[in-house]
Amino acid sequence: MTKEIEDAPIWEIALLILVYIIPIGFYCYSSMANEGHWFSRSGSLMIILGAFLEYRNFGVQQYLREKRDETWKPRLEIVAKLKSRFLFDILILLSLISGTAIWGYGDLLF
């Protein structure tokens, strides 16, 4: 396997985990302070970080698709990498959807 075809780097995975940890931390803080605006603001952070990750993920997938289509018969490791990034893509999409809901309606929980 060549070095140019890698799994999601550890910093992308760490950033995705952070995207989900931020609202949990702000929810705990908001419930202790009985103020919902901090939890609501955490939704905007989810969207910003999720949009960055989606931009990066789209670029990697585009590159892999171009590499796959260079030859008539695609290399199996490229197809496997495209399939492995599918779960990563779904988690990013869920973070964008939930971040929008939290940003818009998160303060109503308090």
Domain boundaries in the chain? Answer: 10-101
Sites in the chain below the pLDDT cut of 50: 1-2
Contacts of 67 (CB under 8 A, 6+ apart): 5, 75, 78
Tens digit of each residue's pLDDT (9 = 90 or more) over 90-104 = 999 999 999 999 999
Enter the pTM of the model: 0.78
Per-residue confidence (pLDDT) for residue 1, from 0 to 100: 43
Tens digit of each residue's pLDDT (9 = 90 or more) over 44-60 = 999 999 999 999 888 88
Pinpoint the alpha helices (H) of the chain: 10-33, 37-69, 76-105
